[in-house]
Chains A and B, each alone.
Chain A
Amino acid sequence: MSLERFINQAVSSWMSEEGPDSDIVLSSRIRLARNFENFKFPTLFSHEEAQSIILKIEEILRESNFTKFGQMELLKIDDIQPLQKRVLVEKHLISPNLAEDSPYGAVLLTENEEVSIMINEEDHIRIQCLFPGLQLTEALEAANEVDDWLESHIHFGFDEKHGYLTSCPTNVGTGLRASVMMHLPGLMLTQQINRIIPAINQLGLVVRGIYGEGSEALGNIFQISNQITLGKSEEDICRDLKGVVSQLISQERSAREALRKTSNIQLEDRVFRSYGVLSNCRIIETKEAAKCLSDVRLGIDMGYIDHLPKNILNELMILTQPGFLQQYAGGHLRANERDIRRAALIRERLKMESDKR
């Protein structure tokens, strides 16, 4: 398969399209946790209960024609190849937990992959909407529509006092986790990030790396999300998060301007060195690739590089993950083989753009 076709098939909308403030915000995500009132939660449920939940979802799919976000396809975790599972995780469409520890799991996916619904993960149902750029309100609206659709067929566990009942008490109430993925190289280079993260934590928000809990901030990409799900309305949670994100955006922009003023040539040098590495390397590890991609993306945003599309960071950060590389190669690869493949893929992708000129 040619690289161009592979990319077209592999890329979801949030990776290829641009959204508001997409020079800094890569994507916005809303997740709603819901449970059937009458089945035990997935930590305790029986094989039969898990089965009937999936049957019920299949029945809803057949009977009601909900195509607002495109056709939906149900994939059972057991039927997905290990490599494909990994790719779905790398694209943030399913959680590592669903891929590895949910034997009765399944996922409903729309064509453009903006909406995914995980079934039988920690909760019976987790609705997820993933939009490019800063679009929390839009993503929340979409998630609410999916929720209303499911709610018209399912009795969700809900009580007046506790709201939507979830398996873990940290999600109860709205069941909402709103998160925003941001590229913050300016705040990293000026070392302001170390001051900012503790401040964000004090506001009841969490800062993580690109692949969620415990992952490091690869390529200067940070995920910021709410911690509190109870006692605030969905709109308030999103508004509070958006407020903090907007502040971060303006801080990042002024950090970039400050860098341009104080060390223009050093920054330009850094950007083009990284571009040089990416377009000439023969072996490259994830970490170095992420660092160089972040530099190149900063170079595009600041106008040093003008022949590359902005989404190249989003796209290549995901495409150079181990699962994707192996899918492109068509089979299992050892770590050192992956580093060679990664280098080749990046070189070829950059050449595609140079040829267009």
Chain B
Amino acid sequence: MICQECNQRPAALHFTKIINGEKTEVNLCEKCAQEKGEMFMINGGSGFTFNNLLAGLLNIDPTVQKQNQNTFHQEEVLQCNKCSMTFPQFIKVGRFGCAHCYETFKEQLPPVLRRLHSGNWSHSGKIPKRIGGSIHLKKQVENLKNELKELIQQEEFEKAAKIRDEIRTLEKELPSSSKGGE
């Protein structure tokens, strides 16, 4: 059987995922499995500790963690500047330190959240009234920016200029607080 990701190497890891009653067969070669972060089950065989288990649950590939440990002194550990929580600490306790941690660790979070919330990683529920307005503006700006890119690719510069002006006026309306950090 050939790996379903790269369609080149033979598949070495075969398993069935059941999430919310939905069955998916997965057949991956070792390399793709490592990239997808689904190797923790076979790598964790020796010296399986509670932290491995939690790290595994949070979908952190132990091979990647090991590499991080080896290069510990060269690489800076990700740390929240508001509450000083580090990413390894978060994995260990399973709790964030403050609301800002979500911003600090945002690159690392999608796989964690996907695993905990059956594949979901972005919010689609209630939005607080007081920030609702600026979020809608931001979404509008995002859409316009995408449109702008397309127009430029199609060399429709006149239309693009109009869109650019529209974006500028909208961005002026955005409160300064929500612009920061972006």
Residues of A within 8 A of B20 (CB): 202-204
Q: Is the CB of B116 within 8 A of A169?
A: yes
Q: Is the CB of B83 within 8 A of A230?
A: no
Query: Which residue of the partner chain B has the closest CB to A157?
Result: B99
Question: Which of A35-43, A314-322, A349-357 contacts its partner?
Answer: A35-43
Q: Is the CB of A173 within 8 A of B125?
A: yes
Q: Is the CB of A156 within 8 A of B128?
A: yes
Per the bound structure, the CA–CA distance linking A194 and B112 in Å amounts to 31
Residues of A within 8 A of B58 (CB): 169
Residues of B within 8 A of A151 (CB): 128-130
Residues of A within 8 A of B106 (CB): 161
Question: Which of A82-90, A231-239, A333-341 contacts its partner?
Answer: A231-239
Q: In the assembled complex, how far is the CB of residue A97 from the closest CB belonging to chain B, in whole angstroms? A: 12
Per the bound structure, the CA–CA distance linking A228 and B123 in Å amounts to 11
Q: Is the CB of A234 within 8 A of B102?
A: no
Per the bound structure, the CA–CA distance linking A15 and B94 in Å amounts to 35
Q: Is the CB of B83 within 8 A of A173?
A: no
Q: In the assembled complex, how far is the CB of residue A66 from the closest CB belonging to chain B, in whole angstroms? A: 16
Per the bound structure, the CA–CA distance linking A275 and B129 in Å amounts to 54
Residues of A within 8 A of B120 (CB): 173, 228, 230-232
Query: Which residue of the partner chain A has the closest CB to B85?
Result: A44
Residues of B within 8 A of A164 (CB): 123, 126
Residues of B within 8 A of A144 (CB): 126
Kindly state whether residue B87 has any CB partner on chain A within 8 Å.
no
Given A43-B93, A44-B83, A230-B120, CB of A174 within 8 Å of CB of B128: no
Kindly state whether residue A167 has any CB partner on chain B within 8 Å.
yes
Which listed residue, A40, A172, A176, A231, touches B82 by the CB 8 Å rule? Answer: A40
Taking CB atoms and an 8 Å cut-off, the chain A residues in 39-63 that contact chain B are 39-41, 43-44
Per the bound structure, the CA–CA distance linking A37 and B181 in Å amounts to 15
Residues of A within 8 A of B121 (CB): 161, 230-231
Per the bound structure, the CA–CA distance linking A231 and B127 in Å amounts to 13
Kindly state whether residue A160 has any CB partner on chain B within 8 Å.
yes
Contact with B along A161-177 (1 / 0, CB 8 A): 11111111110111010
Residues of B within 8 A of A (CB-CB), count: 38
Given A167-B96, A168-B95, CB of A233 within 8 Å of CB of B124: yes
Given A151-B130, A158-B128, A234-B125, CB of A41 within 8 Å of CB of B96: yes
Q: Is the CB of B98 within 8 A of A176?
A: no
Residues of A within 8 A of B126 (CB): 144, 147, 163-164, 174, 233-234
Q: Is the CB of B102 within 8 A of A162?
A: yes
Q: In the assembled complex, how far is the CB of residue A228 from the closest CB belonging to chain B, in whole angstroms? A: 5
Q: Is the CB of B95 within 8 A of A174?
A: no
Q: In the assembled complex, how far is the CB of residue B51 from the closest CB belonging to chain A, in whole angstroms? A: 16
Residues of A within 8 A of B163 (CB): none
Q: Is the CB of B99 within 8 A of A163?
A: no
Q: Is the CB of A230 within 8 A of B122?
A: yes
Per the bound structure, the CA–CA distance linking A231 and B125 in Å amounts to 7
Which listed residue, A43, A148, A204, A233, touches B118 by the CB 8 Å rule? Answer: A204
Which listed residue, B96, B99, B112, B122, touches A231 by the CB 8 Å rule? Answer: B122
Taking CB atoms and an 8 Å cut-off, the chain A residues in 231-284 that contact chain B are 231-234
Interface centre among A39, A165, A204, A234 (most CB of B within 10 A): A165
16 A-B residue pairings within 8 Å (CB atoms): A39-B98, A44-B97, A151-B130, A157-B99, A162-B122, A163-B123, A163-B125, A164-B126, A168-B95, A168-B96, A172-B113, A173-B117, A228-B118, A230-B121, A231-B122, A231-B124
Which 7 pairs, one residue from A and one from B, show the smallest C-beta to C-beta distance?
A231-B120, A163-B123, A157-B99, A174-B125, A230-B117, A165-B99, A202-B21
Apart from A44-B85, A169-B116, list 12 A-B contacts with CB within 8 A.
A41-B97, A41-B99, A43-B95, A44-B83, A157-B99, A162-B109, A168-B95, A172-B113, A202-B21, A203-B21, A230-B117, A231-B124
